Structure 1
Amino acid sequence: MKKLMSGNEAIAYGAYQAGVKVGAAYPGTPSTEVMENFATYPGVYAEWSPNEKVALDVGVGAAYAGRRAMVAMKHVGLNVAADSLFYASYTGVNAGLVIINADDPGLHSSQGEQDNRNYARFARIPMVEPADSEEARQYVGVALEISETFDTPVLLRTVTRLAHSKGAVEFDGELQPVAPPAPDPPAYRRDPAKQVMLPANARRRRPVVEERLQKLGEYAEQTTLNRIEPGDPELGIIAAGAAYQYAREVFPGASFLKLGLVYPLPRRLILDFARRVKQVVVVEELDPFLEEQIRLMGVTVRGKDIFPLYGEFSPHLLRQCAAAAGLVTPPPEEEDPRPPLVLPVRPPMLCPGCGHRGIFYVLKQLNVLVTGDIGCYTLGAAPPLGAMHTCGCMGAGIGVSHGIEKAGVQEPRVAVLGDSTFFHSGMPPLVNVLYNRGATTTIVLDNRVTAMTGHQDDPGTGRTLQGGETTEVDIAALARGMGYQRVDVVDPYELDQVTQVVREHLQSAEPSLIIARRPCVLSRREKHPAPVVDADICVNCGTCLELGCSPLTQEEEHVSINVLLCNGCGLCVQVCPTGAIAFNA
């Protein structure tokens, strides 16, 4: 039977079918649902790790111990895990290890684009790239077989479109693994010469990595992952992954070389394909990864002179580019009788009742320089709050604030980050401030969950991915254990309390930590009665609108509150200078 599955769901199912027993990840769009779905299958272990490097180390350890393992992360997460990726390339694996890497062309939910096919070449490990959900299911098992055959971790690349689009997948309906049940692992096989990367051992492993890559190149020539699909010999298209699907739609009659193993490339197969066609065109999103390697083979090829270097592809975009290059006939222009659709701009904003809002409102009122981080709270940079001035990557805000201080800037400043980000990469820079005698005030916006990616648990929630109760790590106690003397916990709904505590910390010459604790309103689904506006008292000054809360709108004579949207947090009651907004007695 068949079942509709997203690419992420299909990867999780394929991993279960292939006998993966251990899964680890850090949530990050567009990869999050892989581990969420895998965790629901019987007889598996799955976890949210504090960050991607830890997740990869967990996967490596499971593979060393003889269990098939899967690790999942988004593209920028592989930057965090890169140190572990490179040592694993040298040590190899005992059981299969597949690393799911989800790129995000078009920046749907990321701070930057990057093409992580380059990591495969950099780390000298194989990468497979499915083109639809069924291939996503199949390729997990193939990647694990490659991993075990060639003693290497294997990258499986997806993109946002594949991760979240649904397609028909072969489904047995009984949730039975295809792979035979794995026996209990024997005692750990100790092999220091292979697994302890002292320079002497690493030097001995370096030639092994090159020999393995040569063998993988021979495998690439023979595997059915790479195949020629004959068509019109006038035009030959080389493509992989989601780009293959777009190209198939735009060039239905062309000859195709469909690549499923995108590194290493099958040199002889590519040369054979090039001899069969008059013109070779590479269709690939982001970097000219395939194009550059194929040019080095001596093949005359077109690619990025036709298609863009950045952004997400679509059949419409490819058709436009191909028509401009003379590869397809331009579609006839048809006059659309409908008037152009003009939609109002709807900027993203913090949810009604979000605990982060009170913090950013106070920081703006105090004119504080705010170095930020990746998460829901990045929306604190948007008007009317406008209270975040830098944002780079997870954990960066604390180090940036410390650097600003050491550069001699005297104005008051704070670093902000979320609770999940604190566990991900916030602790080392917090220690750095303490060790290097800084005076940065850090605010942890603790909403008790990893909110931005869909309310996953983290080490501070007391729950594991698979629903078990566990130790709830206390951020305040952890900071005090590091050596922080000034640590305060505040409720971001209480603006007077927040203002007083922030002022005290900024006036102090010592490093300090504030924990603004208020559960995510979407996670807890709590709703309180909405306040009301007394139209006779309201002077329509707009002060409450500076909160950037969507239920508040400014009418001709007074402000109104949409009670269907309002969460009843009461911030507007606190900031109204005339007392026109109040809760009913």
Structure 2
Amino acid sequence: DKCASYGAALANEGGGKLILGVQNSPRKVVGTQALKDINYIKNYLRDQLHLRVIVEELDPFFEEQVKAQGIAVSGKEFLPLCGELTPERIIKAFAGQGIIPESGTGSTEGQSLTVVLPGRPPNMCPGCPHRGFFYVLNRLKAYVTGDIGCYTLGFLPPLSSMETCVCMGASIGNASGVVKVVSEEERKKVVAVIGDSTFCHTGINGLMDMVYNSVPATVAILDNRITAMTGRQDNPASGHTLSNNATYRVDIAELCKALGVKHVRVVNPFDLEETEKALREEMERPETSVIITDKPCILVKRPGVFQRGPLYEIDPEKCTGCRACLKIGCPAIQWLPDEGVRGLSHIDPTLCTGCDVCRQLCTFSAIGRAK
């Protein structure tokens, strides 16, 4: 009862914080049972709050469900249906209803609701199998026609390896068009990049047409065993149905051969030397070729699919601050500008997955397995 009462009081007074499970004196974590009946707390807050507004992006899904229970709430009457609900848009909407002052404050102390946050661009996960492949594409200065998936993040610095991204399956068709209008030497730089699920969805027909029209370009199929970008859904190449039942797994390499591709290679994207060798050789071919990367997404929780390797660490005595390891943009690698002579790199052990890519970039042998 106290937890629910405090929550209602804080909400009606403009907000605040409740710290649960910590003993006051002496300070000690003791745990809490305050939330054991969460439905009771929800109902209590619903009955006690003076204002009931459901804030959700896009369609009013929860709002309609709550109203269907006979509970009077507000939401889409003044909140937009389209676009991201940024703090600024929410403040403007609430201020327009007189819920908070026009100044953008909602607490009795006048504390501003807007906070200037540092820029945090989207990034591939630590240990993502796409990272090493895009690093090599950047190194080779390839002209990459991209597609829809996590790998679309390859267009961002420091990987910066994508020139086009139109719609699902467009990468292969775009590559087919690009090679028609560039010089013979530039043609060797064209690489279409597509994921396994997107390839199954609408890339197969593009590859078939590429072979049919004798297009001299390379297609890279990044097979990470899952539809990672939209929530780890299974697909025909994952070996499981959406109900998590085991089923036939489409063999992408054999499928490509059946479409008429004569040169199909499977590489380990965590091995930069192997990946670069394969790309160099296939990009030189005067006919359609396919490279398949074969390492799973780190978020696949199915037993036996993703195996976390030994963690890595950086020896501060050997690190020269050359920043070569930062060229892959791994979130596990931190730059400490105030350390050493000109700064040092550091690997966060809570984020490292042991993919080994960073070690291959260090020419000073400063990166090794954690002891």
Tell me, yes or no, whether TM beats 0.5: yes
**Greater helix content:** 1
Matched, 1:567 2:341: no
Paired position in structure 2 for 1:220:
none
CA–CA separation in structure 1 for the residues paired with 2:100 and 2:347: 49
CA–CA separation in structure 2 for the residues paired with 1:315 and 1:434: 52
Quote the offset at 1:347 in angstroms: 1.2
1:249-328 maps to which residues of 2 (within 5 A)? Answer: 285=81, 317=92
CA–CA separation in structure 1 for the residues paired with 2:270 and 2:139: 15
CA–CA separation in structure 2 for the residues paired with 1:459 and 1:485: 23
Quote the offset at 1:285 in angstroms: 4.8
CA–CA separation in structure 2 for the residues paired with 1:330 and 1:474: 58
**Greater strand content:** 1
CA–CA separation in structure 1 for the residues paired with 2:99 and 2:299: 47
**Residues 486 and 348 (structure 1 numbering): CA distance in 2 closer, same or farther, change over 3 Å?**
same
Quote the offset at 1:469 in angstroms: 2.4
Q: Check whether the contact 2:58–2:81 (CA below 8 A) recurs between aligned residues.
A: no
2:121 pairs with 326, 347, 363, which one?
347
Paired position in structure 2 for 1:454:
231
Identity %: 39
**Residues 512 and 162 (structure 1 numbering): CA distance in 2 closer, same or farther, change over 3 Å?**
farther
CA–CA separation in structure 2 for the residues paired with 1:422 and 1:167: 37
Matched, 1:338 2:124: no
CA–CA separation in structure 1 for the residues paired with 2:169 and 2:268: 23
- Structure 1 window deviating more from structure 2 (328-337 vs 456-465): it is 328-337
1:30-429 maps to which residues of 2 (within 5 A)? Answer: 160-162=58-60, 167-168=65-66, 245-247=75-77, 285=81, 317=92, 332-334=101-103, 336=105, 337-338=110-111, 341-409=115-183, 410-411=185-186, 412-429=189-206
* 1:493-544: CA deviation from partner (whole Å, max 9, x where unpaired): 1111000000000111110000001011011463222112121211110000
- What CA RMSD, in Å, does the superposition of the two structures yield over aligned residues? 3.0
Quote the offset at 1:317 in angstroms: 4.9
Q: Check whether the contact 1:285–1:312 (CA below 8 A) recurs between aligned residues.
A: no
CA–CA separation in structure 1 for the residues paired with 2:246 and 2:331: 36
**Residues 467 and 332 (structure 1 numbering): CA distance in 2 closer, same or farther, change over 3 Å?**
closer
Q: Check whether the contact 1:285–1:311 (CA below 8 A) recurs between aligned residues.
A: no
Quote the offset at 1:333 in angstroms: 3.4
CA–CA separation in structure 1 for the residues paired with 2:144 and 2:293: 15
CA–CA separation in structure 2 for the residues paired with 1:466 and 1:374: 24
Quote the offset at 1:329 in angstroms: 8.0
Paired position in structure 2 for 1:541:
322
Quote the offset at 1:440 in angstroms: 1.4
Matched, 1:471 2:248: yes
In structure 2, give the amino acid aligned to 1:451.
A
CA–CA separation in structure 2 for the residues paired with 1:363 and 1:507: 14
Quote the offset at 1:161 in angstroms: 4.3
CA–CA separation in structure 1 for the residues paired with 2:62 and 2:234: 21
**Residues 334 and 480 (structure 1 numbering): CA distance in 2 closer, same or farther, change over 3 Å?**
closer
**Residues 312 and 490 (structure 1 numbering): CA distance in 2 closer, same or farther, change over 3 Å?**
same
Q: Check whether the contact 1:460–1:473 (CA below 8 A) recurs between aligned residues.
A: yes
* 1:414-466: CA deviation from partner (whole Å, max 9, x where unpaired): 01010000000101111111111211101001000111111111101121122
CA–CA separation in structure 1 for the residues paired with 2:281 and 2:59: 48
Quote the offset at 1:583 in angstroms: 1.8
CA–CA separation in structure 2 for the residues paired with 1:485 and 1:366: 23
CA–CA separation in structure 1 for the residues paired with 2:62 and 2:150: 21
Quote the offset at 1:246 in angstroms: 1.9
CA–CA separation in structure 2 for the residues paired with 1:358 and 1:365: 11
Quote the offset at 1:344 in angstroms: 1.6
In structure 1, give the amino acid aligned to 2:360.
Q
CA–CA separation in structure 2 for the residues paired with 1:392 and 1:165: 34
SS across alignment from 2:76: helix
Paired position in structure 1 for 2:289:
512
CA–CA separation in structure 1 for the residues paired with 2:215 and 2:135: 25
Matched, 1:435 2:212: yes
CA–CA separation in structure 2 for the residues paired with 1:164 and 1:479: 45
SS across alignment from 2:286: coil
In structure 1, give the amino acid aligned to 2:260.
G
Q: Check whether the contact 2:60–2:76 (CA below 8 A) recurs between aligned residues.
A: no
**Residues 418 and 335 (structure 1 numbering): CA distance in 2 closer, same or farther, change over 3 Å?**
closer
Paired position in structure 1 for 2:310:
529
Normalised by the length of structure 1, the TM-score is 0.47
**Residues 561 and 164 (structure 1 numbering): CA distance in 2 closer, same or farther, change over 3 Å?**
farther
Quote the offset at 1:342 in angstroms: 2.2
In structure 2, give the amino acid aligned to 1:538.
C
Paired position in structure 1 for 2:280:
503
Quote the offset at 1:166 in angstroms: 8.7
Unaligned runs of 5+ in 2: 1-53
Paired position in structure 1 for 2:31:
none
**Residues 493 and 335 (structure 1 numbering): CA distance in 2 closer, same or farther, change over 3 Å?**
closer
SS across alignment from 2:177: helix
SS across alignment from 1:370: strand
Paired position in structure 2 for 1:490:
267
CA–CA separation in structure 2 for the residues paired with 1:162 and 1:526: 40
Quote the offset at 1:375 in angstroms: 0.6
